[in-house]
């Protein structure tokens, strides 16, 4: 016991202070919210279009406006690498979640994505949020970055947010994976077992759009094809900080301006 106490004192306080303090340091290779400057786009270039593995990019042939769908994006930065003019860059901004699928499409003048849920739902779930996590055919990357929020470094439980074993004890679902045909029925039954009112959070490109499995005959292009989605969290996988920001926004626990 004395050794455990000594070790605890030596380690100090390990839990991030976010959102009351600064966010933890992000890894050097982190790719956040895309920044697009269509004025740099070279006529007839379009090198970024075939470079994207999930068809997340589009260029309006009339206006030359570049748009990037972060709901499809794998954040591989291949478009940034092949663009000779630097029209597409990935920032360090981890705030990627939105309650609107349309607002995940980034252009030159796009507003910052935001989670804006019905006030009644926020008031109901703001004190605590119990989620049943459903892995609908995921590769376990999004699942791992979600599960890490339960460690001492993040301590998700201090916000009253917990993952529960039974959907009947949950306020909603957190879904990862492209929803394969083999997981379709399980997801539908799990959703039906959650008492109303309930929310659904789709985490990762697969759960939002199908990701690299888009239009695969054994996948359903994400959770929204089967259940109504309230919050979208882009990434492949999203960083734990991106997921935490989305969950706190969902229950209205973010200080003004964050």
Distance CA 122, CA 99 (A): 13
Q: Does a structural domain hold residue 113?
A: no
Task: Quote the pLDDT of residue 76.
Answer: 97
Question: Looking at the structure, do residues 81 and 165 belong to the same domain, yes or no?
Answer: no
CATH number of the CATH domain containing 76: 3.30.70.20
Q: Does a structural domain hold residue 2?
A: no
Question: Looking at the structure, do residues 80 and 185 belong to the same domain, yes or no?
Answer: no
- CA dist 54 → 57, 107, 156, 247 (Å): 8, 17, 32, 26
> What residues in the chain have per-residue pLDDT under 70?
4, 7-9, 11-13
Question: Looking at the structure, do residues 78 and 191 belong to the same domain, yes or no?
Answer: no
Q: Does a structural domain hold residue 111?
A: no
Q: Is 174 helix (H, G, I), strand (E, B) or coil?
A: strand
Task: Output the pTM of the full model.
Answer: 0.93
Question: Looking at the structure, do residues 73 and 141 belong to the same domain, yes or no?
Answer: no
Closest CA to 231 of 123, 136, 96: 96
- CA dist 2 → 5, 6, 7, 125 (Å): 5, 6, 9, 40
pLDDT in tens, 20-35: 999 999 999 999 999 9
Task: Check residue 148 and report its DSSP letter.
Answer: G
Distance CA 131, CA 48 (A): 38
Neighbours of 118 (CB within 10 A): 12
Distance CA 201, CA 194 (A): 13
Boundary-marking domain end, from 44, 59, 94: 94
Question: Looking at the structure, do residues 244 and 133 belong to the same domain, yes or no?
Answer: yes
Q: How far is CA 211 from the centre of its chain?
A: 12
Structural domain for 65, as ranges: 34-94
CATH number of the CATH domain containing 163: 3.40.50.12280
Task: Quote the pLDDT of residue 6.
Answer: 72
Task: Quote the pLDDT of residue 3.
Answer: 77
Which string of DSSP letters, residue by residue, matches 76-133? --HHHHH-TT--EEE-S-----BS-SGGGEE-TTPPPP-----HHHHHHHSS-EEEEE
């Amino acid at each position: 016991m004395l050794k455990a106490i000594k070790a605890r004192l030596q380690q100090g306080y390990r839990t991030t202070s976010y959102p009351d303090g600064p966010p933890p340091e992000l890894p050097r290779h982190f790719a956040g919210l895309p920044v697009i400057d269509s004025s740099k786009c070279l006529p007839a270039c379009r090198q970024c279009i075939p470079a994207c593995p999930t068809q997340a990019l589009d260029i309006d042939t009339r206006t030359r406006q570049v748009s990037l769908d972060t709901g499809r994006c794998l954040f591989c930065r291949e478009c940034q690498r092949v663009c000779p003019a630097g029209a597409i860059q990935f920032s360090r901004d981890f705030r990627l979640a939105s309650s609107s699928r349309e607002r995940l499409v980034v252009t030159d003048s796009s507003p910052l994505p935001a989670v804006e849920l019905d006030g009644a739902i926020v008031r109901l779930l703001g004190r605590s949020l119990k989620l049943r996590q459903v892995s609908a055919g995921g590769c376990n990357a999004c699942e791992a970055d979600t599960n890490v929020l339960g460690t001492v470094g993040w301590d998700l439980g201090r916000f009253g947010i917990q993952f529960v074993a039974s959907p009947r004890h949950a306020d909603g679902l957190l879904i990862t994976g492209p929803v394969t045909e083999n997981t379709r029925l399980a997801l539908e039954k799990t959703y039906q077992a959650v008492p109303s009112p309930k929310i659904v959070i789709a985490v990762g490109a697969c759960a939002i759009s199908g990701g690299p499995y888009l239009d695969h005959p054994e996948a359903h292009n994400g959770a929204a094809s089967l259940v109504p989605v309230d919050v979208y969290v882009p990434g492949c996988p999203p960083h734990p900080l991106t997921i935490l920001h989305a969950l706190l926004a969902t229950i209205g626990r973010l200080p003004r301006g964050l």
